[in-house]
Amino acid sequence: MKVVDMHCDTIYEIYERRKKGQKVRLLENDLHIDLKKMEKGDYLIQNFALYTHLEQEQRPLEHAMRLMDVFYEEMEANRERIGVVKNWQDIERNKKEGKLSAMVTIEEGGACQGELAYLRDFYRLGVRMMTLTWNFPNELGYPNRILPQNGGPALRVADTEHGLTEKGIDFVQEMERLGMIPDISHLNDAGIWDVFRYTKKPFVASHSNARALSCHPRNLTDEMIRALAERGGVAGINFCASFLREDEKGKEPVHSYCRDMVEHIKHMKQVGGIGCIGLGSDFDGITSIVEMGDCSGIQLLADEMERQGFSVGEIEAVFHKNVLRLYREVL
């Protein structure tokens, strides 16, 4: 079963380990994702996010560019196995040549520092998807907050008041004009509805689950799932245990099971139809102990979907066809 995964943090992890003097490569490593594991897992496309932590990086644009350098260094070193995709024709070409495909994305719109010129520069460098925020406010909008509490589970707050800023509105409209996909994962509730209000084309929640099953502000309400489906958008199932099920006896869940992922898929199907669901593993960005181990074991999820009554066509839709349809329409 071919795999299209809309989100991972592997490039960031490689960058961080290299800063510590470790020799880490994308071809083979001990992370969730490397090229050999992707080949074993029957991957078609992996989106590689360039993630920036605004409270740790005083120059977010420069940080994102350093990650971009790592991404392209690895693409060039492994060009016989993987190719960068910027449009539908690139995807088709790599598929025909038997190569994996890589899409570079931005996780944290603050990397643009509020400048449309930098957004366009990222597009010229191949970026085709961008989360408008991560976990901190930026020039574009606001996240749903996760506030640490001493001695107890984090306080989770869904922000329904602060929408996109004027720059945020300009950004999503320019992204739509360029053919860069807005990503509403991490964005607050009010901001999400503004993306619907100020855009016309399909977009994604690259790594977000159903809030009805796990009441976490990073997940989508049923109303959001329904609206995303009506727009032709896709939500990527996140493998993080905290987004899959509720806290266990006041503690964050640790283990991530395929059966929980399938429960979210079943719920999203009931709410918005099978066409609005994809994969957004968040591999190498989560600390959960994942049942499938790493990306080489992702077919365990397909097996669990089949065991719970999904047809081959439905599994194909979730694993690759829904996201490919969106890419063909938007890129």
The pLDDT value given to residue 149: 57
Q: What is the pLDDT at residue 146?
A: 62
pTM equals 0.96
pLDDT number for residue 154:
55
Residue 136, class by beta-carbon neighbours within 10 Å (0-12 exposed, 13-18 middle, 19+ buried)?
middle
pLDDT of residue 183: 99
Domains of the chain: 3-330 (3.20.20.140)
Mean pLDDT by 10 residues, the chain (331 residues): 99 98 98 99 99 94 99 99 99 98 99 99 99 96 74 66 95 99 98 99 99 95 99 99 84 91 99 99 97 98 99 99 99 96
CB 136 within 8 A of CB 165: no
pLDDT of 155: 61
- Written as six digits, the tokens of 261 are 């992922």
98: left (phi over 0), alpha (psi -120 to 50) or beta: left
pLDDT at residue number 177: 98
pLDDT value of residue 148: 59
Q: Determine the number of helices (DSSP H) and then strands (DSSP E) in the chain.
A: 13, 13
Beta strands in the chain (DSSP E): 3-5, 43-51, 82-84, 100-107, 129-131, 145-149, 152-157, 181-183, 204-205, 234-237, 255-256, 277-279, 289-290
Confidence (pLDDT) at 290: 97
Q: How far apart are CA 82 and CA 72, in angstroms?
A: 11
